Amino acid sequence: MTLDSLPGKAQAYILYNAVAGLLAFGFAILYWDSPELARFPVYLLIAVLAGALKVHLPGITATMSVNFLFVLVGILELGFGETLVIGCAACLVQSFWKSNPKPRPVQVLFNVSSTAKAITLAYWTFHLLAPHVEASYLPILLALSATVFFLMNTVPVSMVVSLIEGGNFSKMWSQCYFWSFPYYLVGAALAGGIHFLNGLIGWQITLLSFPVVFWIYRSYRLYLGKLESEKRHAEELAGLHLRTIEALALAIDAKDQTTHDHLRRVRVYAEEIGKDLGLDGLELEALRAAALLHDIGKLAVPEHILNKPGRLTPEEFEKIKIHPTVGAEILEQVKFPYPVAPIVRSHHEKWDGSGYPDGLTGEAIPIGARILTAVDVLDALASDRQYRRALPLRDALTVVVREAGKSFDPQVVQVLERRFIELESKTQAMKFHKPALSTDLKVEHGAEPAAGFENTGTPAAADPSAPRVDFLSSIAGARQEGQMLFELSQSLGNSLSLDETLSVFAVRLKRLVQYDSIAIYLRKGSQLVPEYVSGEDFRLFSALRIPMGEGLSGWVAEHRKPIVNGNPSVEPGYLNDPHKFSSLRSGLAVPLEGVNGVVGVLSLYAAGKDAFTADHLRMLLAISSKVGLAVENGLKYQIAENSATTDYLTNLPNARSLFLHLDREVARAKRANSALTVLVCDLDGFKQVNDRFGHLAGNTTLQNIARRMREICREYDYVARMGGDEFVVVAPNLAPKDVPEIVLRLRQLAEEAGREVCGENLLSMSVGEAYYPLDGTDAEKLLAEADRQMYRAKEWHHEQAAATPRRTGARAHIATIQ
């Protein structure tokens, strides 16, 4: 390094220091004063030895020694010329002692002249002010002189280094030199102590100060060694961080083969534009990491969409649009010390708010994302993709410039337009190292997976062990298969009853695909529930409740993809009892899709291993959509049928269903010559519940009463809601002697239901009964008689409520007191 090779500002500053140093030397020689000739050589020798005790400063190519202590002693003990010579001699030793490489002349000139200037200002600060202050203030004056020496010794070095290397002066000075300021103050205290002892004993006591100098040097070394160790550790962590980021970028490359060097080129462009726009520190680190990782969310996008050799469909684009959000969520888990995730999340936002995922506008988009968006699009346009050829860089830039103020930040586009040639040259000069992944490696070991291979239905021509089939047999087989598929499809539309449809379908399907067991699961919420089961292990499959995404059938429903020769035992709940055994070894499952998505799964199970072929799968897929629609229509018919016979509020049979059921029960009683009891129940006080607590409370009360009536009645009793607050119980073979107990329990449940909702006794129940054949031989007569008895019971209850509140119905009352 020569003076001519340095920047102009650095040259001027070095020359200024050289002139100031020469003037100081001239003044020192002109006014040389050395009252004690023996003391000066001793001080000089110790200062030279101290100059050799130097330490390297972290972050810059500079050193520091402890010779400042003897400069401060010289300020107190010696003349100006002697102090100047001691300081500059120690500086020369510091520059040349164990220096590799040896310093250039310009460096030596700057170091010596700066030292001379610092000593001059510190010396005269003390001696010009000392006559004007009291002796008690001399320590403060000495500390002030040490401070001046510290500033004049460190500021010029930081200044020239920043001018040469282009760094920030204040940041460099605070990080590299400011930490040493306390040592200068300690040195001032030691110099004051040496001066005091010299006055008591003599200047020779200064010889004993060298151990103190060495102690200061060692503390320097230990402190700077710790700083260097921490810096090295931080650099290693930063290197590890960067390598991890590059490894993640490599994972993106492995998923999306279109990126190639796209990520690294984007990083170079984005980093340089970020510097141009004033980003530094953590903002620049975040931009650097985001440039490499902005596409990591594409790991959640199917490869056939990423590498599609054509335009995307609206559905495929919706899938692509998740990658900024997914990428941000992945990177949030890394806990970067700088904001990477917000940049990745917003790198597809547009200046005018038409981007995704959040529709941010203008400066609401993070500056890193605004830079990344423009650079990403420019490089994508200038790169070959499956769906188009690359544009020339200038044409690609024209597209980006045209979108300034719409898609891109105009300020970013302006920098890109000004520097794109320079940045492209820089990326072309860089050699990106991309490790080759072993994606084409053929692994010799491993005969087959633990679950075995899927039977792919090897054609007979490719399988030498298969029997030969002539073309006439092939034609006949294909015709037969087509006829059977036609008949199977026709049968799916012959009935609206789901049970009947599935039963006929299962029988005819077995002529096409041989199976040992069939299960048709319907989707209900987040579960698959068996709707039709036939064949081996009937009870086992009927009891299954399969969560979506789990097991063989759950996976098929979740992913809408078939499975051939899967393992039936993976169905949740299948053979979870180790004492059970099943011979089923193969499973074929296909999704059944209706108009609004997957409605269920058709699963076939067989005892043989790899029992199903690709032909079986093909035939099932040919009819699965028709089966799905038939199932969907059957479910709609079930809902319509249920709504016609079921009360919407209580889920009890309604009046229409009651009359049909009662007719059947009367006919059965006639044939079997058996008894039949009909109970008509009406709530007393229900109007008060609605009036005082509202209709919602009334509905809740009716639902509770319906539930409790089902609980207290026998399994084969029939409970229905006639309408309003009136219920009917049809009880086959119920003896008249047992009726009062049933009536009492019905009244109690009505009272409890009222208290549960209203918190007070508002409800009771009046019950009337009729018996077949005593009170009638058809449904209408039985209901009419039970209704009359209920109203008689209601009147009697109103009359006797105060005296006998728990007795119901005239007949029940008489039966109880006899």
Each residue of 155-213: pLDDT tens digit? 887 787 777 766 677 777 777 777 678 877 877 887 777 777 776 666 555 555 556 66
Structure tokens, 746 = 């019905």
In this predicted structure, what is the pLDDT of residue 813?
A: 39
**Overall pTM > 0.75:** no
Residue with tokens 């006829």: 483
Instruction: Flag whether pLDDT at 477 surpasses 80.
Output: no
Dihedrals phi, psi of 676, to nearest 5 degrees: -150, 130
In this predicted structure, what is the pLDDT of residue 761?
A: 82
In this predicted structure, what is the pLDDT of residue 336?
A: 78
Which one, of 549, 554, 477, lies nearest residue 522 by Cα? Answer: 554
Could you tell me if 566 and 550 are in contact, meaning their C-beta atoms sit under 8 angstroms apart? no
Least confident residue range of 44-58, 290-304, 363-377, 608-622: 44-58
Structure tokens, 316 = 């495929």
In this predicted structure, what is the pLDDT of residue 426?
A: 82
Q: What is the DSSP letter of 80?
A: H
User: What is the total residue count of the chain?
Assistant: 818
Percent of the chain with pLDDT over 90: 14
Instruction: Flag whether pLDDT at 461 surpasses 50.
Output: no
Least confident residue range of 196-200, 288-292, 662-666: 196-200
What is the architecture of the domain spanning 474-643? 2-Layer Sandwich (3.30)
What gap in Å lies between CA 407 and CA 91, rounded to an integer?
A: 60
In this predicted structure, what is the pLDDT of residue 807?
A: 42
Least confident residue range of 372-386, 593-607, 660-674: 372-386
Greater model confidence, 212 or 526:
526
Mean pLDDT of the chain: 78
Residues 6+ apart with CB under 8 A from 556: 562, 563, 589, 590, 591, 601, 603
Q: For 739-801, give the secondary structure using H, E and C.
A: HHHHHHHHHHHHHHHHHHHHCCCCCEEEEEEEEECCCCCCHHHHHHHHHHHHHHHHHHHHHHC
What is the architecture of the domain spanning 655-817? 2-Layer Sandwich (3.30)
The fourth-level CATH superfamily of domain 256-429 is Hypothetical protein af1432 (1.10.3210.10)
Q: What is the DSSP letter of 608?
A: S
Greater model confidence, 354 or 504:
354
Instruction: Flag whether pLDDT at 408 surpasses 50.
Output: yes
Give 698: exposed, middle or buried? Use CB within 10 Å, 0-12, 13-18, 19+: buried
In this predicted structure, what is the pLDDT of residue 476?
A: 47
CA dist list (Å): 758 to 643, 709, 723, 725, 766 = 30, 19, 22, 16, 19
Greater model confidence, 310 or 113:
113
Per-residue pLDDT tens digits for 682-734 = 998 888 888 888 888 889 889 999 999 988 888 889 999 988 889 999 999 88
Per-residue pLDDT tens digits for 741-773 = 999 999 899 888 888 888 888 888 999 999 998
In this predicted structure, what is the pLDDT of residue 132?
A: 83
In this predicted structure, what is the pLDDT of residue 732?
A: 92
What gap in Å lies between CA 654 and CA 647, rounded to an integer?
A: 5
Dihedrals phi, psi of 409, to nearest 5 degrees: -65, 120
Least confident residue range of 111-120, 358-367, 628-637: 628-637
Domain-wise residue ranges, the chain: 3-220, 256-429, 474-643, 655-817
Could you tell me if 512 and 484 are in contact, meaning their C-beta atoms sit under 8 angstroms apart? yes
Instruction: Flag whether pLDDT at 143 surpasses 60.
Output: yes
In this predicted structure, what is the pLDDT of residue 215?
A: 62
Residue environment code for 591-616, b if the CB has 16+ CB neighbours within 10 A, otherwise e: bbbbeeebbbbbbbbbeeeebbbeeb
